[in-house]
């Protein structure tokens, strides 16, 4: 036993001797010194989602549904307006109280009921890492002819080639040093990489249109959708799919808004990035994909909605041309920069924050990020990116599951608790905590979430053509509207449950700034008394008396 105790002691998170199952320095409310993000930094944050391959992939995959370029543009714009409402509402919680997603979930679902978002982070990290691996593969192919012609030793069922798997492995190695850097120090490096990414994506799109002599055949005419009814449902499906593409990052927005210098610093950056970058890069992606369909063939069959597939076509059809190889090299290099940025910030670090909530005594953001990376290999992300139908299935399913979850968070904070949080109780695993509910689980939150999501889950099977035949048409259409309808159902139910059977401590908050997280200006607005540095009680497990504004 002494040997085991020594090992466990060595594995404990550094920086605080009081790190335990519920808190460590990465989970407690951030002090003023660590809150350094301004408007420009939040523009950079959302640029990692849109000024990247995913900004091209997510919307261009709508072309495989049969929508035209202009129809997909409208779907994307409507989705961005909805996303703005989501990120502003959820980001406000982190900006005011300086807590991340995992800790915030405790007030809606209970201290033991907040361990659910990690799987989606793992899934999305793997998908983006495999896309990055495809780019590493094409880059190496431009340098080494032996790599381009590497024999594939994997079966067709693997949905990837041997060289793609090698690229996947190398890409993960590239990400390791970036995951080591604290998130508040990544601002400057990613401004540089995202500038390179934007130039690369726009140049690639313009180059495809120049080669095709225009924007291609899909600008005004879709591939398969005919009839006003089918077209209407395709639009709804498209909007939900686009929302699903960034809904994981939107849901955990407090993981990053907590770094705002002061509440409100995040607004302008979030809105500008979503409206500008969230529309500009997808438009170039749609036009480039349409042009590629004219140059190379069917969007769905060749996977032309996915940029790595386009540049692989360049190599396959013109490898002996030095100009083709040079163009492929620089495009691959530029896009690798974008994939490192999105996977480090959107998935690795944010997922590391979620993982830190599992075992705070032994896992911090950095260790959690590495854990996400390792586990992501096990879920076989190459199967998800193999076909557009599977890719859109995943995006849509995210919306169906997380739409009701967002509704619970929004309703709980703004309408049930009226924007009051008792921070000390979020780290108190006992019945003395107002967030303990029933044995650490808030059944109201779970009932509201499940009831909102359940009606739309069966229809998700229809999004994959291999299973579509056995799913009733009504369930198929219901799944298209799962995000919006599920949101309304969960929001309404959660509000009613808390009105009929209210939990204890609503509108309670701490009288004093226990964690030393608020500036004097913030504390005055919240009606909280600040403490001196020697008085901050993070090092203790003392229960602080609450103040109620009922």
pLDDT at 416 over 90: yes
The answer to whether residue 13 is domain-embedded is yes
- The pLDDT of residue 497 is 96
pLDDT at 116 over 70: no
Residues 105 and 241 in one domain: yes
Q: Which of 374, 369, 305 is nearest to 343 (CA)?
A: 369
Count Cβ neighbours within 10 Å for each residue of 228-254 and write b for 16 or more, e otherwise: eeeeebbbbbbbbbbbbbbbbbbbbbb
What is the rounded radius of gyration, in angstroms, for the C-alpha atoms of the chain? 24
- The pLDDT of residue 550 is 35
The answer to whether residue 226 is domain-embedded is yes
Cα–Cα distances (Å) from 352 to 45, 189, 193, 328, in that order, read: 16, 20, 22, 33
Share the mean pLDDT of the chain.
79
Question: Of 393, 424, 455, which closes a domain?
Answer: 393
Average pLDDT over residues 358-379: 75
Query: What CATH number has the domain bearing residue 91?
Result: 1.10.4160.10
pLDDT at 467 over 70: no
- Give the span between the Cα atoms of 191 and 7, in whole angstroms: 40
Residues 89 and 63 in one domain: yes
The answer to whether residue 10 is domain-embedded is yes
Among 45-59, 247-261, 274-288, 340-354, name the one with the lowest average pLDDT: 340-354
Residues 261 and 139 in one domain: yes
- The pLDDT of residue 142 is 86
Among 125-139, 371-385, 475-489, 515-529, name the one with the lowest average pLDDT: 371-385
pLDDT at 501 over 90: yes
Residues 170 and 233 in one domain: yes
Q: For the range 210-215, what are the long-range contacts, defined as Cβ-Cβ under 8 Å and sequence gap of 24 or more?
A: 211/291, 211/295, 212/291, 212/292, 212/294, 212/295, 214/291, 214/294, 215/69, 215/287, 215/290, 215/291
Domain count, the chain: 2
Residues 463 and 430 in one domain: yes
- Specify the pairing of strand 546-548 against strand 508-510: antiparallel
The answer to whether residue 523 is domain-embedded is no
Question: Of 393, 419, 447, which closes a domain?
Answer: 393
How long a stretch of residues is the chain? 550
Contact status, residue 76 vs residue 240, Cβ threshold 8 Å: no
- The pLDDT of residue 545 is 37
Residues 255 and 386 in one domain: yes
Query: H/E/C letters for each residue in 41-97?
Result: HHHHHHHHHHCCHHHHHHHHHHHHHCCCHHHHHHHHHHHHHHHHHHHHHHHHHHHHH
Among 28-42, 139-153, 216-230, 406-420, name the one with the lowest average pLDDT: 216-230
pLDDT at 222 over 60: no
- Give the span between the Cα atoms of 138 and 319, in whole angstroms: 11
The answer to whether residue 527 is domain-embedded is no
Residues 406 and 488 in one domain: yes
Residues 379 and 473 in one domain: no
Average pLDDT over residues 372-379: 76
The answer to whether residue 550 is domain-embedded is no
The answer to whether residue 457 is domain-embedded is yes
The answer to whether residue 48 is domain-embedded is yes
Residues 452 and 344 in one domain: no
Question: Of 393, 417, 449, which closes a domain?
Answer: 393
Contact status, residue 437 vs residue 503, Cβ threshold 8 Å: yes
First-residue to last-residue Cα distance in the chain? 51
Residues 322 and 275 in one domain: yes
Q: Which of 403, 451, 507, 361 is nearest to 11 (CA)?
A: 361
Residues 376 and 411 in one domain: no
Check residue 529 and give left, alpha or beta (phi > 0: left; psi -120 to 50: alpha): beta
- Give the span between the Cα atoms of 117 and 101, in whole angstroms: 9
Contact status, residue 51 vs residue 279, Cβ threshold 8 Å: no
Segment holding 510, helix H or strand E: strand 508-510
Full domain range(s) for residue 135: 2-393
Contact status, residue 483 vs residue 240, Cβ threshold 8 Å: yes
**Residue 39 token pair:** 């408007």
- The pLDDT of residue 460 is 65
pLDDT at 79 over 70: yes
Segment holding 508, helix H or strand E: strand 508-510
Cα–Cα distances (Å) from 72 to 56, 65, 104, 279, 329, in that order, read: 12, 10, 34, 11, 30
Segment holding 548, helix H or strand E: strand 546-548
- The pLDDT of residue 61 is 82
Residues 455 and 352 in one domain: no
């Amino acid at each position: 036993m002494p040997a085991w105790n020594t090992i466990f002691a060595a594995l404990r998170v550094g920086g605080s001797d009081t790190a335990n199952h519920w808190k460590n320095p990465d989970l407690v409310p951030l002090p003023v010194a660590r809150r350094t993000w301004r408007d420009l930094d939040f523009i950079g944050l959302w640029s990692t989602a849109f000024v990247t391959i995913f900004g091209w992939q997510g919307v261009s995959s709508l072309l495989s549904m049969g929508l035209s370029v202009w129809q997909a543009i409208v779907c994307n714009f409507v989705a961005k307006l909805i996303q703005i409402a989501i990120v502003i509402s959820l980001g406000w919680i982190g900006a005011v109280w300086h807590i991340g997603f995992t800790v915030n979930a405790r007030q809606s679902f209970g201290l033991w009921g907040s361990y659910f978002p990690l799987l989606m982070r793992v899934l999305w990290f793997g998908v983006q890492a495999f896309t990055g691996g495809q780019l590493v593969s094409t880059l190496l192919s431009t340098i080494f002819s032996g790599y381009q012609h590497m024999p594939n030793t994997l079966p067709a069922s693997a949905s990837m080639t041997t060289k793609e798997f090698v690229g996947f492995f190398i890409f993960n190695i590239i990400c390791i040093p970036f995951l080591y850097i604290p998130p508040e120090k990544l601002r400057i490096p990613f401004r540089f990489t995202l500038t390179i990414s934007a130039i690369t994506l726009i140049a690639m799109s313009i180059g495809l249109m120049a080669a095709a002599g225009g924007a291609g055949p899909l600008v005004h005419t879709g591939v398969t959708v005919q009839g006003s009814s089918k077209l209407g449902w395709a639009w709804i499906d498209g909007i939900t799919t686009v929302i699903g593409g960034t809904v994981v990052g939107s849901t955990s927005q407090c993981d990053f808004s907590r770094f705002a210098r002061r509440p409100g610093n995040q607004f302008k950056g979030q809105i500008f990035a979503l409206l500008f970058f969230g529309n500009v890069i997808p438009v170039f992606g749609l036009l480039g994909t349409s042009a590629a369909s004219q140059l190379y063939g069917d969007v769905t069959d060749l996977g032309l909605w996915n940029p790595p597939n386009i540049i692989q076509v360049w190599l396959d059809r013109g490898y002996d041309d030095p100009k083709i190889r040079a163009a492929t090299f620089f495009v691959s290099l530029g896009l690798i920069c974008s994939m490192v940025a999105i996977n480090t910030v959107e998935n690795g670090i944010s997922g590391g924050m979620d993982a830190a909530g599992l075992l705070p005594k032994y896992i911090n953001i950095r260790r959690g990020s590495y854990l996400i990376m390792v586990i992501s290999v096990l879920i076989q992300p190459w199967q998800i990116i193999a076909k557009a139908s599977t890719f859109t299935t995943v995006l849509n399913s995210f919306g169906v599951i997380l739409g009701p979850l967002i509704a619970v968070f929004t309703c709980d904070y703004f309408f049930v608790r009226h924007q009051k949080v008792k921070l000390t109780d979020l780290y108190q695993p006992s019945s003395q905590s107002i967030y303990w509910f029933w044995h650490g689980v808030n059944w109201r939150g779970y009932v509201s979430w499940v009831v909102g999501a359940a009606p739309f889950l069966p229809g998700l099977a229809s999004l994959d053509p291999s299973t579509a035949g056995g799913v009733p048409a009504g369930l198929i259409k219901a799944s298209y509207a799962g995000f919006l309808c599920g949101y309304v159902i969960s929001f309404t139910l959660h509000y009613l449950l808390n009105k009929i059977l209210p939990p204890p401590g609503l509108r309670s908050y701490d009288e004093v700034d226990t964690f030393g997280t608020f500036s004097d200006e913030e504390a005055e607005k919240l009606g909280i008394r600040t403490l001196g540095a020697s008085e901050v009680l993070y090092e203790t497990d003392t229960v602080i008396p609450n103040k109620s504004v009922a």
